A and B are shown apart, each in its own frame.
Chain A
Amino acid sequence: MNRRFFLKSGSVALASVGMSLSAPAFLERAVLGQARSTGKRKTLIAIFQRGAVDGLNVVVPFGESSYYSARPSIAIAKPQTGNAEAAIDLDGFFGLHPSLSSFKPLWDSKRLTIIHASGSPDNTRSHFDAQDYMESATPGVKSTSDGWLNRYLQSKADPDRSLFRAVSMTKTMPRVLQGRADAVAMSNLSDFAIRAGRSSAELQGGFEAIYARENDSLAGTGRETFEAVNYLKKVNPAQYQPENGAQYPRNPFGNSLLQIAQLIKAGVGLEVAFTDIGGWDTHVNQGNARGQLGNLLQQFGAGIAALHQDLGQRMDDVIILTMSEFGRTVRENGNRGTDHGHANAMFVVGNSVRGGKVYGQWPGLKSDQLYEGRDLALTTDFRDVFGEIATRHLGSTDAKSIFPGYSLNQSKFKGFLA
């Protein structure tokens, strides 16, 4: 009673699945795979801050006097004991935005690292282009058809052939995961079912039969969908309780991270997870220690800290990576905000990172040090960060194929992973 299912491309056999009541074969494989590799499957959780976060107010170069002269009303004050609105000192030069206090313990235990002045070398200041380039990882080339995380999936066969190898907790499939390799996008695990009361199972069976028949892209997606539906029923997402006292922010971002943790713990073979959080495009009234950016950072930091706490020892095999399409102007604009800029700061969190250090060469903020006279200059290409994670964490042996047109070289890796 096995049916062979095929991916969207029609070329890769994905899984053979029995009737909906028996255990899906991919799950059996995933469970066996976990046992075989003693749970050492590596996972990357990538978080995109859409809208271009102001990295200079996130990881504050308080040691630069130019920082303060460029930002008369929105700068974050130098670290000062007892001042909750001042930057949180990291290394005597950089400090965290005070709303990121939840990151301090991670920094102190060397599980958090920062790559500053990093990003895309392309000079576009368009959100859409820059997001496109960061997700395709081919700056300046719009014609790249797939995203870099998808190319990673393509570059390495998955012995377990897990259906949940790549999951995006978003309504639509993000560019970064689009491509030939299979990935699932969903906004909520518990809604992920045919919802028709007592007739649900019967109707699902009906749709499964219809979608099994055809071979266009829509029907292929339909078949994948039902495999996922059948599996999730068993995980029972509604009953999930975070561990270690972790408290996720009660908003869509926190909800996405919680569900990623749930999938990791369910042992379904999750290797690449993605989610995003918007609202960073602070052209107007950005705020300083408090205000728009601070409020968002609070959610952002609390979510990541909760995820780290919830996963506990599992963080040995998990890395959380954050990115945003570009930074923002060094000088604040006329609306107490910042405009589209260039280089930015990325966070990497995990038990395996060599944390407690800000990586990357600092280019300085004096007028003559700025990119195009206005923005933080770039000293680390984001592909070197992605490449290091793909190679040293995910274990890709062919990371060059993930970054076409770029001469990926381990000597350029920052060394935040051993």
Chain B
Amino acid sequence: MKKSVAILLSLTIIAAQAVAAVDKRPKTKALTDEQRIIHVLNRLGFGPRPGDIERVKAMGVEKYINQQLNPEKISDSVAENKVHDLTVLNMTTAELYEKYPQPGQLLRQLQARGKLPADLGEARENRVKRGANANASEMPKNDAMPAPSPENPLQNEKYRQLIQEYYRENGLQRPERIMVDLQASRILRAVYSERQLQEVMVDFWTNHFNVFAGKGADRWLLPAYDRDTIRPNAMSKFSTLLQATAQSPAMLFYLDNFQSVSPNANANANRRGPLQMLRPQPQQQQRRGINENYARELMELHTLGVDGGYTQKDVQEVARCFTGWTIFQPRGGAAAVNGMMGREIDPGRTPGTFVFTPRMHDDGEKMVLGHKIPAGGGMKDGLMVLDILAHHPSTAKFIATKLVRYFVSDNPPQVLVDRVAAAFTKSDGDIRETLKAIFFSNEFNSTEAYRAKIKRPFELVVSAIRTIGADTNGGPGTHQWIARMGEPLYGYQTPNGYSDAAESWVNAGGLLERMNFGLALANNRINGTNVSLSKSNGDQSKVMDEYLKQLLAGDISAATRATLLKQLQPSDSTTKVVGLILGTPEFQRQ
């Protein structure tokens, strides 16, 4: 620890010296007005649509930034209409469990009630289990290898058909549909929303507080996570957002806290209650214990950062504080069967919602980062921890660094990070104030930052669709391209989230997929996304320049332009022009 502090100090000194040196030289070149508009549309949003640059020019870029910082004041009817038919978005977790049940679970519950149709039961018995693939890392991947072929495919096919019929007859949907809808909503909002910065921040925080859809019940929990946890808090106070994630069933499930139990819990849990429900096999007289997973990632990844000054002891103490923060019926209980039998959900006991269970809680005294958490605090223990962490200087530094890397440069300038961290602290973690410190800084508005960041796959796909003026339904045909380039939404397994630095995305396979995506888009070969390009009039130079202006605001070197032009025959269609431009190194940058 001492060593890293020393390194940090010396780095700070070096950085300070570097700044002093820079100050003697001519000032960093500021952006032209036009460049600044393009820069803002690229970084505060997912790139310009046709007409956006003129629109921002007319209203003034600073006014545009301030407007984006207050998304609640921006009317967004187009985007809301686009996502209107994605029914998953407005359903509670309990309703999702009811209408999108897991087939295996549903069948077991039907059987327990003696309601399992005979043919379905038989088909299930005959089905060859996939077995080896039933691990937590599995999630539906559009580009994954085909599933292992069963020994008797006919029986498996029969089972699938019967399930399909049963689902149709009973108004049920397969759980895979949940993620399809949720991913579509992210793409649609990024493409169509006028609240571009809001969508960018949703992307940022979703990644910062990463949850993997392939882990257990998380696919049922993620729509609420997006709607109730991330979105309403994406531009509020960091402490509010942090608490919302801490109490979100999605996070509680993902990082196992929902089943972290005080070792002393058995002593005071001889009554019936949620603790019993957590024990699928009550005959086992074994103690359920503390799970440190959330406590560790909360400090390492959500707040302080790995060198933020906590110890293994702190991890253990924080884990004790969060015992009892759990989920009522984390896997939905018998929601589907109950729903089919016409039973209403008891609003007081809703499956898949946060609950604090005192009987699971360790109520002794704890010490966290030098703060005493008094005995008997109950749920307040966890709230105190969140408060300590949200206001810790390491958190300000960690969040500032991540934001500056995200919005400005892969190598965050230390002076800017320090200023942004100060703005974070001064505003009590107000996200808007923190962002302002970035957007109005010289570093952000400098030529060094201009088109310097590599677009991540999600950003690339959305920006291409926007800039070419394509129409999309955000469906799997579009999402699979994002996945192929390596960034399936909600598909990152480990809690650190996708990398934001170029070296993670600039590799042979990913680059090739980027070029292939551009070609597929220009050729209208993406299912659910449509683009109509103008017909070429044979003057390839003119056609090319028009598209260079539309797609890159003309930001391309004369040499590359000449090379591009050489590729074009008079008979070539505009799709080739557009496909090539979308695949240029220039279009990969923002």
A residues contacting B by CB (< 8 A) are 50-51, 72-73, 123, 125-129, 142-143, 171-173, 178, 184-187, 191-196, 199, 203, 205-207, 209-211, 213-214, 216-219, 221-222, 224-225, 228-229, 249-252, 254-255, 278-279, 281, 283-284, 292, 295-296, 298-299, 333-336, 339-340, 372
Interface pair B503/A178, CB less than 8 Å apart: yes
Can you pick out 28 interface pairs between chain A and chain B where the beta carbons lie within 8 Å of each other? Answer: A50-B493, A125-B292, A143-B7, A171-B486, A171-B510, A184-B509, A191-B509, A193-B512, A195-B519, A196-B516, A203-B580, A206-B580, A207-B583, A214-B585, A218-B506, A250-B145, A250-B148, A251-B145, A255-B145, A283-B256, A296-B132, A333-B289, A333-B291, A334-B261, A335-B256, A335-B259, A335-B291, A336-B286
The answer to whether A283 and B563 touch (CB under 8 A), given A194-B516, A249-B132, A295-B133, is no
The residue on A at minimum CB distance from B567 is A206
Residue in A210, A292, A333 whose beta carbon sits within 8 Å of that of B564 in the complex? A210
Interface pair B288/A335, CB less than 8 Å apart: yes
Interface pair B493/A228, CB less than 8 Å apart: no
The answer to whether A187 and B509 touch (CB under 8 A), given A210-B563, A284-B256, A295-B134, is yes
Q: How large is the interface on B (under 10, 10 to 19, 20 to 34, 35 or more residues)?
A: 35 or more
Residue in B507, B563, B564 with the greatest tally of chain A CB atoms within 10 Å: B507
- Bound: A250/B512 CA distance, A: 25
B411 at interface, CB cutoff 8 A = no
Q: Mark B568-586, 1 if CB is under 8 A from A, else 0.
A: 0000000010011001110
Interface pair A339/B292, CB less than 8 Å apart: yes
Instruction: State the Cβ distance, A378 to closest chain B Cβ, in Å.
Output: 16
- Bound: A172/B505 CA distance, A: 7
The residue on A at minimum CB distance from B289 is A334
B390 at interface, CB cutoff 8 A = no
B496 at interface, CB cutoff 8 A = yes
- Bound: A338/B261 CA distance, A: 15
B152 at interface, CB cutoff 8 A = no
- Leading 10 A-B pairs by shortest Cβ distance: A334-B289, A334-B288, A279-B137, A186-B509, A206-B567, A225-B508, A279-B135, A171-B486, A185-B507, A218-B585
- Bound: A209/B584 CA distance, A: 10
CB neighbours (8 Å) of A125 from chain B are 292, 296, 312
Interface pair A249/B135, CB less than 8 Å apart: no
Given contacts A195-B519, A211-B585, A334-B289, 19 further A-B contacts (CB under 8 A): A72-B286, A73-B284, A125-B296, A128-B306, A172-B505, A173-B507, A184-B507, A185-B510, A194-B515, A196-B579, A206-B576, A210-B563, A210-B580, A218-B588, A221-B511, A222-B511, A251-B148, A292-B134, A339-B293
- Bound: A196/B288 CA distance, A: 56
Interface pair A210/B289, CB less than 8 Å apart: no
Instruction: State the Cβ distance, A227 to closest chain B Cβ, in Å.
Output: 9
CB neighbours (8 Å) of B259 from chain A are 284, 334-335
Residue in B135, B143, B484 with the greatest tally of chain A CB atoms within 10 Å: B135
Interface pair B131/A295, CB less than 8 Å apart: yes
- Bound: A51/B315 CA distance, A: 19
- Bound: A219/B563 CA distance, A: 14
B559 at interface, CB cutoff 8 A = yes
CB neighbours (8 Å) of A205 from chain B are 567
Interface pair B135/A295, CB less than 8 Å apart: yes
CB neighbours (8 Å) of A211 from chain B are 585
CB neighbours (8 Å) of A143 from chain B are 7
B381 at interface, CB cutoff 8 A = no
CB neighbours (8 Å) of B507 from chain A are 172-173, 184-185, 221
Residue in A73, A216, A221 whose beta carbon sits within 8 Å of that of B508 in the complex? A221
The answer to whether A207 and B256 touch (CB under 8 A), given A172-B507, A173-B507, A213-B559, is no
CB neighbours (8 Å) of B537 from chain A are none
Q: Mark B113-140, 1 if CB is under 8 A from A, else 0.
A: 0000000000000000001111111100
B27 at interface, CB cutoff 8 A = no
- Bound: A323/B225 CA distance, A: 35
Interface pair A184/B508, CB less than 8 Å apart: yes
CB neighbours (8 Å) of B17 from chain A are none
Interface pair A196/B523, CB less than 8 Å apart: yes
B104 at interface, CB cutoff 8 A = no
CB neighbours (8 Å) of B286 from chain A are 72-73, 334, 336
Interface pair A217/B502, CB less than 8 Å apart: yes
- Bound: A215/B223 CA distance, A: 43
The residue on A at minimum CB distance from B149 is A250
The residue on B at minimum CB distance from A277 is B137
Residue in B496, B511, B585 whose beta carbon sits within 8 Å of that of A128 in the complex? B496
CB neighbours (8 Å) of B523 from chain A are 196
B566 at interface, CB cutoff 8 A = yes
CB neighbours (8 Å) of B256 from chain A are 283-284, 335
Residue in B136, B509, B519, B579 whose beta carbon sits within 8 Å of that of A171 in the complex? B509
Residue in A184, A221, A228, A252 whose beta carbon sits within 8 Å of that of B506 in the complex? A221
- Bound: A178/B499 CA distance, A: 14
CB neighbours (8 Å) of A339 from chain B are 291-293
Give chain B interface residues in 531-589, CB to chain A under 8 Å: 557, 559-560, 563-564, 566-567, 576, 579-580, 583-585, 588-589
The residue on A at minimum CB distance from B519 is A196
CB neighbours (8 Å) of B584 from chain A are 210
The answer to whether A127 and B494 touch (CB under 8 A), given A203-B580, A210-B563, A221-B508, is yes
The residue on B at minimum CB distance from A292 is B135
- Bound: A218/B519 CA distance, A: 18
B504 at interface, CB cutoff 8 A = yes
B287 at interface, CB cutoff 8 A = yes
Residue in B133, B484, B506, B566 whose beta carbon sits within 8 Å of that of A251 in the complex? B133
Instruction: State the Cβ distance, A128 to closest chain B Cβ, in Å.
Output: 5
Interface pair A225/B288, CB less than 8 Å apart: no
B454 at interface, CB cutoff 8 A = yes
The residue on B at minimum CB distance from A299 is B132
- Bound: A98/B207 CA distance, A: 38
Residue in B136, B300, B588 whose beta carbon sits within 8 Å of that of A126 in the complex? B300
Interface pair A192/B509, CB less than 8 Å apart: yes
CB neighbours (8 Å) of B505 from chain A are 172
B21 at interface, CB cutoff 8 A = no
- Bound: A206/B333 CA distance, A: 57
- Bound: A295/B135 CA distance, A: 8
- Bound: A129/B315 CA distance, A: 15
Interface pair A281/B136, CB less than 8 Å apart: yes
- Bound: A249/B130 CA distance, A: 12
- Bound: A103/B57 CA distance, A: 67
The residue on A at minimum CB distance from B573 is A199
CB neighbours (8 Å) of A206 from chain B are 564, 567, 576, 580
CB neighbours (8 Å) of A51 from chain B are 137, 493-494
- Bound: A50/B495 CA distance, A: 13
The answer to whether A283 and B148 touch (CB under 8 A), given A172-B504, A203-B519, A217-B502, is no
Give chain B interface residues in 280-305, CB to chain A under 8 Å: 284, 286-293, 296, 300-301
Residue in B306, B494, B563 whose beta carbon sits within 8 Å of that of A209 in the complex? B563
B171 at interface, CB cutoff 8 A = no
CB neighbours (8 Å) of B342 from chain A are none
B144 at interface, CB cutoff 8 A = yes
B51 at interface, CB cutoff 8 A = no
The answer to whether A250 and B146 touch (CB under 8 A), given A283-B291, A333-B289, is yes
Interface pair A225/B516, CB less than 8 Å apart: no
- Bound: A340/B301 CA distance, A: 17
- Bound: A380/B133 CA distance, A: 33
- Bound: A193/B584 CA distance, A: 16
Residue in A50, A203, A225 whose beta carbon sits within 8 Å of that of B579 in the complex? A203
Interface pair B454/A218, CB less than 8 Å apart: yes
- Bound: A255/B147 CA distance, A: 12
CB neighbours (8 Å) of B566 from chain A are 209
CB neighbours (8 Å) of B263 from chain A are 334
Interface pair A292/B136, CB less than 8 Å apart: yes
Instruction: State the Cβ distance, B42 to closest chain A Cβ, in Å.
Output: 16
- Bound: A222/B293 CA distance, A: 40
The residue on B at minimum CB distance from A296 is B135
CB neighbours (8 Å) of B288 from chain A are 334-335
Residue in A50, A255, A339 with the greatest tally of chain B CB atoms within 10 Å: A339
